[in-house]
Amino acid sequence: MAQIIDGKALAKQVREEIKAETEEMEAKHGIVPGLAVILVGNDPGSEVYVRNKKNDCEKVGFYSEVIHLPEETSADTILEHIRKLNATEAIDGILVQMPLPGHLDAPSILNTIRPHKDVDGLHPVNMGRLLSGQPCMAPCTPKGVMRMLDSIGCEIEGKRAVVVGRSVLVGKPIAMMLLARNATVTMCHSRTRNLPEICAEADILVAATGRAEMIDENYVKEGAVVIDVGISRMGKKLTGDVAYERVADKAGWITPVPGGVGPMTRAMLLVNTMQAAKLRVG
């Protein structure tokens, strides 16, 4: 039976580390990290996410503010808010909650955030730095996955890693991060042939497809580390991309859904905001 990588417990540990860093920064420099979140519309899921992020900030002593705008808000109005936040010294990180209403062009809005305040790690400058191995704001979910692998003492160098999913948010950046740690990485997607056979060769398998319970025991090598990034609702139950019960009998380590990668994504947002605040104080 696989051992569980407990994202909730690890996220709590990260928050404790960040809280201690915040207290030290305030004592030495008289400032605390600041995070601003822009929420457009009234999507219930997004409202929950933003509320949780604000609570996380309060737990670690960050300054935080939420700019909640109506669904019909124009792109020009949002860009005006972003430019003001770019120029506000007390704000180290700016996050635009996704998804945006359909009339808005997300890339043009996200690209207006200054790269050093882009705590979601989605600005092309940060993506380019990640690709070229330079210091950058890395996307929160992949960064959380790497922290989870490190927490179990997973030796990444020389291992075969398979990433199922090629999104800009997860699949592509996690592949780059694993490659930077000297894993041999294969990226797969919906059109990959012989997908179960390829996945079954992986020492580290990252599932980020958004397709509920797509990955079963036939995709998994005995003793592999299985990271489930997906989250879907099946009736009243939340599930991931991995058929948990079936895979847990075969894997060496596995992340649960919920309680796995999700809490670490939020924790890494705090880490990135602290990183940005450190740039402010030099």
| Lowest pLDDT segment from 68-77, 200-209, 228-237 | 228-237
d(CA 221, CA 201): 6
* Mean pLDDT value across residues 210-215: 94
Question: Is 56 exposed, middle or buried, given 0-12, 13-18 or 19+ CB atoms closer than 10 A?
Answer: buried
What is residue 40's three-state secondary structure? strand
* Structure-block tokens of residue 164: 């199922």
Alpha helices in the chain (DSSP H): 7-29, 44-60, 75-86, 106-110, 124-131, 140-151, 171-180, 195-199, 244-248, 261-281
Residue 234 has pLDDT above 90, yes or no: no
Residue 137 has pLDDT above 90, yes or no: yes
For a pLDDT cut of 70, what percent of the chain falls above it?
Answer: 100
Confidence of residue 170 (pLDDT cuts 50, 70, 90): very high
Confidence at residue 126, expressed as pLDDT on a 0 to 100 scale: 97
What is residue 128's three-state secondary structure? helix
For a pLDDT cut of 90, what percent of the chain falls above it?
Answer: 96
* Mean pLDDT value across residues 92-118: 96
* Structure-block tokens of residue 163: 């990433």
* Mean pLDDT value across residues 151-180: 97
* Mean pLDDT value across residues 162-179: 97
Q: Which of 193, 267, 265, 282 lies closest to 228 in space, CA to CA?
A: 265
The model's pTM is 0.95
Confidence at residue 204, expressed as pLDDT on a 0 to 100 scale: 98
Catalytic residue among 92, 120, 228, 241: 120
Q: Which of 34, 36, 37 lies closest to 60 in space, CA to CA?
A: 34
* Mean pLDDT value across residues 205-221: 96
250 given a catalytic annotation: no
Catalytic residue among 56, 97, 117, 172: 97
What is the rounded end-to-end Cα distance, in angstroms, of the chain?
A: 47
d(CA 10, CA 151): 8
Cα separations (Å) of 115 from 30, 84, 94, 241, 276?
A: 24, 15, 10, 31, 10
97 given a catalytic annotation: yes
> Are 33 and 22 in contact, with CB atoms under 8 Å apart?
yes
The dihedral through the CA atoms of 107, 110, 115, 120 has a sign that is: negative
Per-residue pLDDT of 20-32, as tens digits, reads 999 999 999 999 9
278 given a catalytic annotation: no
Confidence of residue 223 (pLDDT cuts 50, 70, 90): very high
Alpha helices in 30-154 (DSSP H): 44-60, 75-86, 106-110, 124-131, 140-151
* Mean pLDDT value across residues 203-212: 96
Average predicted confidence (pLDDT) for the chain? 96
Catalytic residue among 53, 117, 172, 221: 53
Q: Are strands 63-69 and 237-239 parallel, antiparallel or unpaired?
A: unpaired
Confidence at residue 123, expressed as pLDDT on a 0 to 100 scale: 96
